[in-house]
Structure 1
Amino acid sequence: MTPARPALRGTHHVALIGSDYARSKRFYTELLGCTVLDEHYRDARDSWKLDLALPDGTRLELFSFPKPPPRPSRPEACGLRHLAFAVDDVADWQSYLNAAGVATEAIRVDEYTGRRFLFFADPDGLPLELYEVGGV
């Protein structure tokens, strides 16, 4: 007999690796507005670990490692496809990101939900999505 399925409680964190720690830290804190919870240099790994928080309690862990290999993104590789953030107004974010020099794709509409979304990339090319959940 199979035991009862335990319950998932939500997303605790998503772990990211940046090729340039300072650049990635600025991107996620200053540009996207994530809150720094904790930051540690791990001497044995020659690596930084930065714990960031989103307003809903989800965490991002930003790591640095010496010479990480590039992440295959295009054509899309098997594995994590993208990281999506919930926002009130996709167009406001597109204007903000473009003014900050971050290229974005055109705003699209989800054919199933009717919600607007757009894609852009972090400094290492990790695909990020903004998905409109409220506001407009």
Structure 2
Amino acid sequence: MENFSVLGFGHVGISVRDIARSRRFYEEMLGFKVVWEYHFPDRELLFMGNGSVVVEFLQTDSALADGPLNHLSILVDDVERAKAELESKGVKFETELLLDADLYPRGEKFAIFRGPDNERLQLEQIL
């Protein structure tokens, strides 16, 4: 594009069944803070952020069986430390810590876990 540059994600929107439950999970487990929230007559919106990561939660009566999106990647400075901290809080990971040496110039380390509405979440450290 000539007229503008993409700098990164502004936010990622996910559908959830219970905004309050998602809010507690992202606050307590991942250190997110409320950026903005609004209650429309027919729906609720909640934006939460941590660093440059912003997630928009949209309350719906039915989220997809495997989560509302493929995955949400959360960039961290030390994936081993982050995984260990979440495990100490009871988060169960679907994968061990994995290395993808071909992604990014020096590779990445990552691990996958699930949020409260079965959304796939990824901790990622770019090496």
TM tier, smaller: 0.7 to 0.9
Query: What residue identity is the alignment partner of 2:44?
Result: W
Number of positions where the alignment pairs a residue of Structure 1 with one of Structure 2 = 123
Determine the structure 1 residue equivalent to 2:125. 132
- d(CA) in 2 for partners of 1:54 and 1:127? 18
After superposition, the C-alpha distances for 1:53-112 in whole angstroms (9 at most, x for unaligned) are 2312x42111112x2142436xxxxx9521111111111111111111110120010131
Determine the structure 2 residue equivalent to 1:13. 11
Does 2:24 correspond to 1:35? Answer: no
Determine the structure 2 residue equivalent to 1:90. 79
Determine the structure 2 residue equivalent to 1:102. 91
Does 2:60 correspond to 1:70? Answer: no
After superposition, the C-alpha distances for 1:30-60 in whole angstroms (9 at most, x for unaligned) are 21111211111111x1x2211112312x421
Determine the structure 2 residue equivalent to 1:114. 107
TM-score normalised to structure 2 length:
0.83
- d(CA) in 1 for partners of 2:7 and 2:71? 21
For the Cα contact (< 8 Å) 2:113–2:121, is it kept in 1? yes
Query: What residue identity is the alignment partner of 1:93?
Result: A
- 5+ long unaligned stretches in structure 1: 74-78
- d(CA) in 2 for partners of 1:9 and 1:132? 19
For the Cα contact (< 8 Å) 2:99–2:107, is it kept in 1? yes
- 5+ long unaligned stretches in structure 2: none
RMSD of aligned alpha carbons = 2.2
Q: Which has the larger radius of gyration?
A: 1
For the Cα contact (< 8 Å) 2:11–2:55, is it kept in 1? yes
Query: What residue identity is the alignment partner of 2:96?
Result: A
- How far the C-alpha of 1:18 sits from its partner, in A, is 1.2
Identity of aligned residues (%): 28
- d(CA) in 1 for partners of 2:7 and 2:109? 27
Does 2:40 correspond to 1:49? Answer: no
Determine the structure 2 residue equivalent to 1:76. none
